[in-house]
């Protein structure tokens, strides 16, 4: 909860970076596309410019959001995340510790590398905690990107209307008369095109479906209620499988990596403690007795936990960014043919479509912002968790 206060704006910008599609915004079905208008007029059509955030860097997108939406825009979805993260994190770490304890007690894992039990425990922890995390993410992410989708929809409508007018104007001067048929177009099709063009010019293209303001939720509660009412439980838990498929590997890499970094830090800290005690002519066995009194674990300073968490969180963030990107786009879709859709059917289809439409480089769109959010967030969260756990262990030992 504490980490969310300074880091939520970074998460908001990351979400907007991952949603944007340069020159490829998919708007609701029924809205005419440039290709359709150009085909009807058989004339060149001006290429639409990108939305304000289409190819924006993290800094420029941050400034754009701050300018047009204010500080409130940077903290969109903060309420549901702030109050929902406490029980979700509790379920997350409880599931991890229980799974780790259960797996290490099985005979198979006695001879297996400890990394394996930590990796599987991380997957299980994410699977269980997604019961709370998915509704939180759906509401948060839709609130974070709704203004951007509104801008994209309005600009798309403006481009279509402008293109229709240009096509109509060109068709009036380039339509081939029926007495001189062209080898590329019949006189009948030319006449039909002229009629369609004049009709388009007389009647401006309008956006079908909800108007742009209808994209906007009024707040956290309104978003949750609206999603539940219009899309049902399936909408509230949209992208559950995608979330497990993206954050499952993230948690597995993060938690297992953290255990490895923590073990390394423990060895370094213990060696330094032994050297200092030997320098003061103290018995080295005291370190062992201190460890055994705390159940075989060695307490580390807060910064050691934080650095271990930061390193593991950074690695996990980069490696799983493609999965997180597709997961976010799946969750912000308003149904399969709603106001805004990327047309992804599942995670694998989303990954393939993303590479095909935007290139391999797009897989790591928002990776910098994702690392900027997760590195301090994971560091602070895991450091607080282990430090508080050590405190309660000491308290129980004194009490016992």
Mean pLDDT value of segment 335-357: 78
With beta carbons less than 8 A apart as the criterion, state whether 385 and 308 touch: no
What is the end-to-end Cα distance of the chain in Å, rounded?
32
DSSP state of 32: P
For 50, the token pair is 């990108």
Torsion angle of the four alpha carbons 336, 337, 340, 345, in this order, in degrees rounded to the nearest 10: 30
> Which domains, ranges and CATH numbers included, belong to the chain?
4-399 (1.50.40.10)
Number of H helices, E strands in the chain: 14, 0
With beta carbons less than 8 A apart as the criterion, state whether 108 and 94 touch: no
Residue 98 is predicted with a pLDDT of 95
Q: Which residues pair with 182 in a beta bridge?
A: 185
Checking if the pLDDT of 205 tops 50, the result is: no
CA 128 vs CA 163, 169, 329: distances in Å: 50, 59, 22
Task: Round to whole Å and give the CA distance between 30 and 208.
Answer: 6
Task: Round to whole Å and give the CA distance between 262 and 36.
Answer: 58
Residues 51, 54, 57, 62: is their CA dihedral positive or negative? positive
Q: What are phi and psi of 47, to 5 degrees?
A: -70, 130
Task: Round to whole Å and give the CA distance between 64 and 12.
Answer: 12
DSSP state of 282: -
Torsion angle of the four alpha carbons 236, 239, 241, 246, in this order, in degrees rounded to the nearest 10: -130
Q: What are phi and psi of 49, to 5 degrees?
A: -80, 165
Q: What percent of the chain has pLDDT over 90?
A: 36
Checking if the pLDDT of 352 tops 90, the result is: yes
Query: Which residues have C-beta within 8 Å of that of residue 328, sequence separation ≥ 6?
Result: 15, 18, 19, 141
Q: Is 43 exposed, middle or buried (0-12, 13-18, 19+ CB in 10 A)?
A: buried
Checking if the pLDDT of 121 tops 60, the result is: yes
With beta carbons less than 8 A apart as the criterion, state whether 20 and 54 touch: yes
Checking if the pLDDT of 72 tops 60, the result is: yes
Q: Is 110 exposed, middle or buried (0-12, 13-18, 19+ CB in 10 A)?
A: exposed
Checking if the pLDDT of 379 tops 90, the result is: yes
Task: Round to whole Å and give the CA distance between 273 and 286.
Answer: 10
pLDDT single digits (tens) 276-302: 777 776 554 554 545 444 444 678 999
Query: Which residues have C-beta within 8 Å of that of residue 208, sequence separation ≥ 6?
Result: 28, 30, 31
Residue 126 is predicted with a pLDDT of 93
Checking if the pLDDT of 171 tops 90, the result is: no
Say what the pTM is.
Answer: 0.69
Higher-confidence position of 206 and 5 = 5
């Amino acid at each position: 909860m504490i980490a969310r206060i300074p880091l939520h704006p970074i998460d908001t910008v990351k979400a907007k970076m991952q949603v944007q599609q340069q020159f490829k915004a998919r708007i609701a079905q029924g809205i005419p596309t440039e290709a359709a208008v150009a085909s009807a007029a058989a004339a060149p059509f001006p290429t639409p410019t990108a939305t304000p955030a289409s190819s924006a860097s993290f800094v420029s997108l941050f400034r754009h959001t701050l300018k047009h939406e204010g500080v409130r825009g940077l903290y969109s979805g903060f309420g549901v995340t702030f109050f929902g993260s406490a029980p979700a994190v509790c379920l997350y770490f409880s599931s991890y510790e229980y799974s780790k304890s259960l797996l290490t007690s099985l005979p198979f894992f006695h001879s297996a590398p400890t990394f394996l039990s930590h990796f599987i425990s991380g997957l299980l922890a994410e699977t269980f905690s997604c019961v709370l995390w998915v509704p939180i993410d759906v509401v948060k992410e839709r609130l974070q990107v709704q203004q951007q989708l509104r801008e994209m929809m309005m600009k798309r409508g403006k481009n279509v209307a402008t293109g229709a007018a240009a096509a109509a104007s060109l068709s009036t001067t380039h339509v081939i008369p029926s007495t001189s048929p062209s080898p590329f177009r019949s006189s009948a099709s030319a006449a039909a095109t002229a009629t369609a063009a004049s009709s388009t010019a007389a009647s401006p293209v309008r956006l079908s479906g909800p108007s742009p303001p209808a994209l906007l939720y009024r707040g956290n509660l309104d978003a949750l209620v609206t999603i539940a009412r219009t899309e049902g439980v399936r909408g509230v838990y949209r992208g559950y499988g995608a979330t497990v498929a993206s954050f499952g590997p993230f948690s597995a890499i993060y938690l297992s990596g953290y255990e490895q970094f923590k073990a390394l830090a423990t060895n370094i800290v213990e060696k330094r403690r032994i050297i200092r005690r030997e320098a003061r002519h103290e018995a080295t066995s005291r370190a062992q007795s201190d460890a055994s009194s705390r159940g075989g674990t060695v307490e580390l300073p807060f910064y050691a936990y934080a650095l271990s968490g930061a390193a593991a969180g950074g690695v996990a963030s980069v490696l799983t960014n493609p999965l997180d990107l597709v997961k976010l786009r799946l969750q912000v879709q308003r149904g399969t043919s709603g106001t805004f859709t990327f047309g992804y059917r599942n995670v694998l289809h989303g990954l393939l479509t993303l590479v095909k439409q935007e290139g391999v480089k797009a897989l790591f769109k928002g990776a910098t912002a994702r690392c900027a959010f997760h590195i301090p967030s994971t560091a602070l969260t895991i450091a607080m968790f282990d430090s508080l756990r050590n405190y309660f262990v000491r308290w129980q030992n004194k009490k016992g």
